[in-house]
Amino acid sequence: SQTIHQWPATLVQPVGSPLSLECTVEGTSNPNLYWYRQAAGRGLQLLFYSVGIGQISSEVPQNLSASRPQDRQFILSSKKLLLSDSGFYLCACSKSETQYFGPGTRLLVL
């Protein structure tokens, strides 16, 4: 079965600084990959998803971007963080309808 790694686990960044969150997947090949954001006490908002290397679909316009440089690597980036970018960022993967989530990265922008 697949294992999803995310790092860092926690990140505190100043407004205007860049961001790079990484997600890697073990135990499967050519998965669909997803980035979600979860605000405190809220539901999951799909940010990006990818069906293959270099193929990224954006679900909502925002200050973030995503890249998939390798089959099992998914990166979430920003050039300049906003206060509203704070939240819990989750990476997920799937080979079918079922999505499996990573442990998440908690981002606090001050």
Partner 1 sequence: QQQVKQSPQSLIVQKGGISIINCAYENTAFDYFPWYQQFPGKGPALLIAIRPDVSEKKEGRFTISFNKSAKQFSLHIMDSQPGDSATYFCAASKGDYKLSFGAGTTVTVRA
Q: Which residues bind partner 1 (CB under 8 A)?
A: 4, 32, 41-44, 46, 49, 51, 90, 92, 94, 96-104, 106
Which residue's CB is nearer to partner 1, number 62 or number 106? 106
Contact call for residues 14 and 65 (beta carbons, < 8 A): no
Question: Which CB, 43 or 69, lies closer to partner 1?
Answer: 43
Radius of gyration, alpha carbons of the chain: 13
Minimum separation from the CB atom of position 105 to partner 1 (A) = 10
User: Quick check: helix, strand or coil at residue 72?
Assistant: coil
CB of 46 to partner 1, least distance (A): 7
12's tokens:
């505190």
For residue 79, the minimal CB distance to partner 1 (Å) is 26
Nearest to partner 1 of 18, 52 (CB atom): 52
Supply the minimum distance, in Å, between the C-beta of residue 16 and partner 1. Answer: 27
Using a 10 angstrom Cβ sphere, with 0-12 exposed, 13-18 middle and 19 or more buried, the burial of residue 49 is: buried
Q: How far is CA 40 from CA 43, 76, 84, 106, 108, in A?
A: 9, 19, 12, 10, 11
Nearer to partner 1, 29 or 98 (CB): 98
